[in-house]
Amino acid sequence: MLDQFDNSLDPAFPPVDAVTVFARLSAVLPADGLITRIEGMRVYESDGLAAYRGLPLGVALPRDADQVRAVLRVCFDLGVPVVARGAGTGLSGGALPSPGCILLNLSRMSRIIGIDPEARTARVQPGVRNLAISEAAAPHGLFYAPDPSSQLACSIGGNVAENAGGVHCLKYGLTVHNLQAMDIVMIDGETLTLGSDALDCPGYDLMALMTGSEGLLAVVTEITVRLLPAPTHTQVLLAAFADIRQAGEAVAAIIGAGIIPAGLEMMDKLALRAAEEHTHAGYPIDAAAILLCELDGTDGDVGAELRRVAKVCEDAGATQVRLARDEDERRKFWAGRKGAFPAMGRIAPDYYCIDGTIPRRRLPDVLEEIQRLSLEHGLAVANVFHAGDGNLHPLILYDANIDGQIDKAETLGGAILELCVAMGGAITGEHGVGREKINQMCAQFTSAEIETFFAMKAAFDPAGLLNPGKAIPTLARCAEFGAMHVQGGRTAFAHLDRF
């Protein structure tokens, strides 16, 4: 069940005296920096994947790195697990409180420390909103490239934890490609600086290791991000298709032609109709699928590439190809795409958002297989995704008030993720593993690889206190799940000619 938190993966933490824990934490935090009443902690019982819920022992709200260090030292001394949390917009249950943990809420650390226009960097605390960085950099003609759909609310610390992407990651990269340095605090309170002001530094690339580590290795307290010059010209092309396979083939053809758009997004009929009703973006609702292709750069370069993209789409069978008439329509096109998730509320009481990645050339096959799985499991699926880099976001529609539907949604979601693995892809592209995909990690990796992950965590967090029970399954769990079946060749998707 999605709404039942299984804590069986947690280490056998010894029982703690809550009074002692609270007294020690109160001594290192501001007067309003510790929440212990149940009604006050309810707001932190889940992240964006609301089907998972749990309550911590208490919630710590530090205002600076010194207070973070102090909280971690107390928890380390007393053997209390710690779960770091940002804005709570994550979609994999990664910030779900573990039983008996202290939830370390970093949202009060929301200061932009400084912007260096010459170095094209910004130093920020982890609670700074993603969009706020670009807003602060705009007067200097700069912007921060990674832009998740939740960028209005999501925090940069959470983006680092999950290695977030967004609609423009095809050209500009994920979070990991846009970082310069970061300060982290280990579970025992020791502080390290990873990266540097230089473009490269000697030694292992621990900053890349930390990015996407989902709070299992350390707590990030300061981040230096790279800023880019804002493009002088940006244009969006919308292409409509009568067949979803043709749309998938057009994606592969665009990239195959050597064109790297700033963004290349795809929505199927169910998704685009809901988005159109929600935002009135001007989408053709009779299409089976649409592509949104954004190109940026100089006026001449963008114009030439737009003509090439239009020709590729027409050759792939597009029934309509049109450019945004002006900046207002361009914004509407993207508002429809970024509003697609909340738009699902118009057609179903609940939805379960999957995040998986596949090779671009397998898009047509995988989309057809998702349609087959949807019929097999009796639940509708709306497809909204970053088509250019093969990052799928199928939205499984269900009604939590109907007995058994949440279980069916979880089963269908697992089947889609295993389909991604069978096609040579991965079970996540930007949302992370958290609690949601921990069984499918067994399908993605061998026992030797999982043991290596545990060894890496032990090097940073030998007591296993940071975010226990997330991201990495035990081998016993994998044996119970029986999911080494993908590596063993007994995949349910053999009919798709895996490679």
- pLDDT surpassing 60 at residue 3: no
Core vs surface per residue 80-104: b (16+ CB within 10 A) or e: bbbbbbbbbbbbbbbbbbbebbbbb
| Structural contact between residues 396 and 412, judged by C-beta atoms closer than 8 angstroms | yes
Structure tokens given for 396? 């499984």
The region of weakest confidence among 7-11, 341-345, 366-370 is 7-11
* pLDDT score for 488: 44
The string of pLDDT tens digits covering residues 181-190 is 999 999 999 9
- pLDDT surpassing 70 at residue 472: yes
Core vs surface per residue 391-418: b (16+ CB within 10 A) or e: bbbbbbbbeeeeeebbebbbebbbbbbb
Report the pLDDT averaged over residues 336-357: 92
State the distance between the two ends of the chain, measured CA to CA, in whole angstroms. 33
Structure tokens given for 276? 């159109």
Angle (deg, nearest 10), helices 363-377 and 405-422: 160
Q: Are strands 121-124 and 263-268 parallel, antiparallel or unpaired?
A: unpaired
Nearest to 390, CA basis, from 422, 353, 364: 364
- pLDDT surpassing 80 at residue 490: no
Structure tokens given for 81? 């697990």
| Structural contact between residues 64 and 222, judged by C-beta atoms closer than 8 angstroms | no
> Quick one: pLDDT band at residue 20, thresholds 50, 70, 90?
very high
Which residue would you say has higher pLDDT here, 263 or 485? Answer: 263
| Structural contact between residues 471 and 98, judged by C-beta atoms closer than 8 angstroms | no
> Quick one: pLDDT band at residue 12, thresholds 50, 70, 90?
low
> Quick one: pLDDT band at residue 64, thresholds 50, 70, 90?
very high
- pLDDT surpassing 90 at residue 498: no
Query: Mean pLDDT score of the chain, rounded to an integer?
Result: 92
* pLDDT score for 198: 83
> Quick one: pLDDT band at residue 13, thresholds 50, 70, 90?
confident
* pLDDT score for 494: 61
Domains and CATH numbers, the chain: 18-105 (3.30.43.10), 112-229 (3.30.465.10), 233-343 (3.30.70.2190), 349-496 (3.30.70.2740)
Cα–Cα distance measured from residue 300 to residue 297, given in angstroms and rounded to the nearest whole number:
8
> Quick one: pLDDT band at residue 16, thresholds 50, 70, 90?
confident
Residues 6+ apart with CB under 8 A from 487: 443, 446
Residues 6+ apart with CB under 8 A from 278: 336, 339, 340, 342, 343, 346
Cα–Cα distance measured from residue 237 to residue 231, given in angstroms and rounded to the nearest whole number:
17
Cα–Cα distance measured from residue 288 to residue 320, given in angstroms and rounded to the nearest whole number:
12
Cα–Cα distance measured from residue 479 to residue 197, given in angstroms and rounded to the nearest whole number:
45
> Quick one: pLDDT band at residue 425, thresholds 50, 70, 90?
very high
> Quick one: pLDDT band at residue 492, thresholds 50, 70, 90?
low
- pLDDT surpassing 50 at residue 7: no
Q: Are strands 233-241 and 289-297 parallel, antiparallel or unpaired?
A: antiparallel
> Quick one: pLDDT band at residue 499, thresholds 50, 70, 90?
very low
> What 8-state DSSP symbol labels residue 98?
P
* pLDDT score for 76: 97
| Structural contact between residues 421 and 444, judged by C-beta atoms closer than 8 angstroms | yes
Taking residue 74's Cβ as centre, other Cβ atoms within 10 Å add up to 23
The string of pLDDT tens digits covering residues 300-326 is 899 999 999 999 999 999 999 999 999
> For tokens 């949807």, what's the residue?
374
Report the pLDDT averaged over residues 251-280: 95
* pLDDT score for 495: 64
Cα dihedral 119, 125, 130, 136 in deg (nearest 10):
-50
The region of weakest confidence among 95-99, 131-135, 336-340, 489-493 is 489-493
Query: Hey, which residues does 391 pair with through a beta bridge?
Result: 357, 386
